[in-house]
Amino acid sequence: MPQTGLPARRTAHHLLMQITGEGRLMSELIGAGALASLAPEDRARAQRLATATLRGLDRADRMLKPYLKKTPPDHVMHALRLGVIELCSGEAPHGVVNAYVEIVARNKRTQAMKGLTNAVLRKIAAEGQAGWDSRPVPLTPGWLRQPLVAAWGREAVTAIEAVHFAGAPLDLTAKTDPAAVATATGGIVLPTGTVRLAEAGQVTTLPGYTSGDWWVQDAAAALPVRLLGDVAGQRVLDLCAAPGGKTMQLAAAGAATTAVDISDTRMQRVRDNLARTGLSAETVVSDAFAFDQGGFDAVLLDAPCSATGTIRRHPDLPYAKDGAEFGALMDQQSALIDHALRLLKPGGRLLFCTCSLLPDEGEVQVEEALDRHPGLQITPPPQPLSDIVQDWATPEGGLRLRPDYWADQGGMDGFYIALLTKPA
């Protein structure tokens, strides 16, 4: 990256400062205009650089440690981390070192450390790709790694971290014909029906985007609706609908779909995607608890959660969060399950899921719901899906998906799914 890349580097540095220092997610920062002043090519560069640094942050710190007597201020440390990522990915050392020395020098509080920045990054440049490759896979921050190890064991968490570090391929859900979408886009069809692309490029330029033949949706996120089987003609409620992938799945399957979300901004995205794909669903902007229409054949509740299952696509999450709000989210999940059951007709089905790796947001929620609601039962996946997912079954009857599943094909998000049937 030549010296003309300084605006993108400064923006990437700003993103890291905000994520780790202010606890703001990258999507929030970008939505608030963090990239707005950049040229289009610099926007992509800044986001890509910040994402790569977050994904490899622990490894970058291991490379830097021998050259630092003590940890410098965050402003300097993030410049060094960004420099490590660039130098170890083949960028020209002269331009990289000069750029991050300038970023450090522009801050009055750290300008005295520009010499340190220069010296350390030149030593990193001497190590280069070989030094980077010799370090272990980056570890998840301790506040999250500890409960994950307690839940799944150290070996599984190490495998999960390897998938997180590798990043995610692009997954598409076809409106009607996965095989045709795979042929058009150069992807493969996974056993669950998702189309996966190893190298996607610009999404909006892929064949079938404009004609609405598919939408972007991780393989794990696309699985819950498939557990419902044939929903043609049924009234189905998507209770926390945005960004709308599951709403479109339901509509494409012929369900009379109602999508509810509290955010008008997020719901507009759902409407836009419905329009692009030529699908139809009723959209309602409302707090989930305030929505009181009943008599649904099925309710899909993808409940607000920690999103710890999405780290391979959102590596900022474990650095922006510390788990402090997770207890309140779990209480909300329990209340949402109870509310969703009230919206079902007798004998109706509740599809509960969370994009979380924490059992307290999945397995435990369903165990407690079964205790709270006598007669509530777990419904097994339909054939032939049950044969594909049998290894993911959990003792209480749900499904546990983890990033290290299908790791050789790019993994998947962490998800928990359970299909519950209300007493008739």
Q: What is the pLDDT of residue 199?
A: 82
Residue 39: Cβ within 10 Å count: 11
CATH hierarchy code of domain 3-134: 1.10.940.10
Write down the architecture of domain 169-217 according to CATH.
2-Layer Sandwich (3.30)
Q: What angle do CA 114, 120, 123 make, to 5 degrees?
A: 140
Q: Which residues pair with residue 188 across a beta bridge?
A: 196
Q: What is the pLDDT of residues 353-394, one digit of tens each?
A: 999 999 999 999 999 999 999 999 999 999 889 999 999 999
Question: Quick check: 228 and 349 in contact, CB under 8 A?
Answer: yes
Active site residues: 355
Q: Which amino acid is at 314?
A: H
Instruction: List the one residue out of 147, 153, 160 whose CA is nearest residue 364.
Output: 147
Same fold, 3-134 and 219-421: no
Low-confidence ranges of the chain (pLDDT < 50): 1-2
Q: What is the pLDDT of residue 2?
A: 44
Q: What confidence score (pLDDT) does residue 4 get?
A: 64
Report the b/e string of 55-85 with b at 16+ CB within 10 A: bbbbbbbbbbeeeeeeebeebbbbbbbbbbb
Q: Where are the domains of the chain?
A: 3-134, 169-217, 219-421
Residues 6 or more apart in contact with residue 239 via CB below 8 angstroms: 260, 288, 291, 299, 300, 301, 302, 336, 340, 343
Residue 196 CA to residue 191 CA, distance in Å, equals 11
- Burial grade of 286 (CB within 10 A; 0-12, 13-18, 19 or more): middle
CA-to-CA distance for 50 and 53, rounded, in angstroms? 5
What's the number of CA atoms in the CB half-sphere (13 Å) around residue 89? 14
Helix axes 40-55, 6-22, angle to 10 degrees: 50
Which residues make Cβ contacts (< 8 Å) with residue 31, sequence separation at least 6?
Answer: none
Residue with token string 């209770």: 239
Long-range interactions of 22-27: CB distance < 8 A, separation 24+: 23/320, 23/321, 23/322, 24/320, 25/314, 25/316, 25/317, 25/320, 26/50, 26/51, 26/314, 26/316, 26/320, 27/314
Q: Provide the β-strand partners of residue 283.
A: 259
**Superfamily assignment of 219-421 in CATH?**
Vaccinia Virus protein VP39 (3.40.50.150)
As beta bridge partners, residue 284 has 260
Q: Quick one: which of 343, 346, 342, 333 has its CA closest to 418?
A: 333
